[in-house]
Amino acid sequence: MSVPDKIAQLKKEAAIKAVEYIQSGMIVGLGTGSTVQFALEEIARKLNTGELEHITGIPTSIRTRNESTRLGIPLTTLDEHPEIDLTIDGADEVDANLNLIKGGGGAHLHEKIIAQASKTFIVIVDEGKISYKLGEKFYVPLEVIPAALKTERLYIERLGAKVTQRMNKNGKPFRSDENNYIIDGHFGPIDNPAELAIKLNSRAGIVEHGLFIDMANRVVVAGKEGVYFKVKSKK
């Protein structure tokens, strides 16, 4: 088995482990990304076999909504169910305190809304996304309204980051599901992600950023030696 195939297999195993936390009758937040795809397929399988019943999902993106519909997973909305039992999602980076960077797919606004509405937030990652500090391996995605693009870019640069605007394959600006722009702040290792999050929260033109501070309850990791868990320590 090639290395990419091995990683994909481990991601699938991690996703299956995460889905084990879902119980019949739950409202489930459905994340976005390649790793979560395995979870969607496992949820659909369990619904088809009857291992799970009366599961209703709330997707975090148009992509996830379309894929869930294709797989036959019943869907609802936050308007109908403003409290979610459990959400399963991926992450682009996880630090030693289970803080996250998300938004590599540009869906972090809806992903954060869903995570904040959830009683339990479970994250699936491969081992390569584990860092001691956020920013060691990934940039901070920021969704900004088009009218504020230049001023928010200047602000992020003044915080010490190199900023790039995310583009599509056709060379045009990437647009979020809310039709906003995405800029990526390359900060390097972040000593105090909670402090940075506060600064980003203060900017009206930044709709949402990809720092998920103190939100994950459990991280399921696909490692070279198999699947293991990282759990939020009690303070």
Range of the domain at 107: 3-131+214-224
Tens digits of per-residue pLDDT, 103-126?
999 999 999 999 999 999 999 999
Q: Is residue 235 very low, low, confident or very high in pLDDT (cuts 50, 70, 90)?
A: very low
Would you say residue 232 lies in a domain?
no
Number of domains in the chain: 2
Tokens of 172: 């045009």
CB-based contact 205:148 (threshold 8 Å): yes
Would you say residue 229 lies in a domain?
no
CB-based contact 115:28 (threshold 8 Å): no
pLDDT tops 80 at residue 2:
no
Tens digits of per-residue pLDDT, 28-39?
999 998 889 999
What is the CATH number for 161? Answer: 3.30.70.260
pLDDT for 18 equals: 96
* Sequential DSSP letters for 5-39: HHHHHHHHHHHHHHHTT--TT-EEEE--SHHHHHH
CB atoms within 10 A of CB 74: 11
- pTM value? 0.94
Q: Which of 42, 93, 111, 152 is catalytic?
A: 111
Q: Are residues 63 and 110 in the same domain?
A: yes
Residue 178 is a catalytic residue:
no
pLDDT for 233 equals: 61
Would you say residue 230 lies in a domain?
no
Tens digits of per-residue pLDDT, 148-200?
999 999 999 999 999 999 999 999 999 999 999 999 999 999 999 999 999 99
Would you say residue 117 lies in a domain?
yes
Mean pLDDT of the chain: 95
What is the CATH number for 94? Answer: 3.40.50.1360
